[in-house]
Amino acid sequence: MQSYADKVVVITGSATGIGLSLAGQFGMDGAKVVVSGLPSDDLATAVAELEGRGITAVSCVCDVSQREDVENLAEFAFAEFGQVDVLVNNAGIGQGMTPLIDMDLEDFRRVFEVNIFGVVHGIQVFGKRFIGQGTPAAIYNLGSENSIYPCVPSAHAYVSSKHSVLAMTELLAEEVPDFIEVAIIMPGLVKSELTKNLGLGMETDDFTARILAQLKAGEFYAVSHAYNKVRLQERYEKIAAAYDTYAPRHEGDDAFDIRTLISKL
């Protein structure tokens, strides 16, 4: 979307951090925003901060791991404004660095419930409404630099959840009607609730300003931290080297390429 003026933007997990900063960026571009978060989040303060900047903002409690909560969020947003144009699946949780052999499975599942199923809930609930609405819309999912390489050692649940979000978003972009834009936002180290104990990272508003410019330009991969390209290239070169050694290209090697085969069905 080249402009978010008069658009209604719903952002999950937006009481603080990247979510709240994104709400500000969309709002300053003319959007009406719906911020959401857990019952323990200070949503009133988030709304007041946005309203203090002249942004139309309302809030709704939502635990994205609970399908009913996401459905209630959609009902609230549509009732409040009559339409929703953009969903940002921003809500996510992190984890400590724990060797996989020792990690508690309930902790692993909790990360997946929020970071993967929370995104699925948002896509399905709002996506169906967007299709029924039939007007230009967008679904933006929060991935991470961890979507393209494991940058945090022993963060198995978090890293694998963000890899999943990348795959899910790429496939989603192929499935939805042309009037629905899809993008993945891939922050590196940014000052947020997830990184507050580190006291390090790109300034949040600097990051979200970069992201908004890319979303307005219609980019699918919304990126920020330049050094990630080095890590991405390192991973690609190792995989490519394995293929060059043990499965080099040859004439007719597309005989078992799944994409080629599916295209012929």
pLDDT given for residue 168 in this prediction? 98
> Would you call 221 a catalytic residue per the annotation?
no
Rounded-to-integer distance, Cα 72 and Cα 82, Å: 14
Catalytic residue among 4, 140, 158, 227: 158
| Contact status, residue 33 vs residue 56, Cβ threshold 8 Å | yes
Amino acid residing at 5: A
pLDDT given for residue 264 in this prediction? 86
DSSP β-ladder status, 180-186 and 137-142 = parallel
pLDDT given for residue 193 in this prediction? 75
Residue with tokens 């409404």: 129
pLDDT given for residue 198 in this prediction? 73
Tens of pLDDT, residue by residue, the chain (265 residues): 899 999 999 999 999 999 999 999 999 999 999 999 999 999 999 999 999 999 999 999 999 999 999 999 999 999 999 999 999 999 999 999 999 999 999 999 999 999 999 999 999 999 999 999 999 999 999 999 999 999 999 999 999 999 999 999 999 999 999 999 999 999 999 987 777 667 788 999 999 999 999 999 999 999 999 999 999 999 999 999 999 999 999 999 999 999 999 988 8
pLDDT given for residue 200 in this prediction? 81
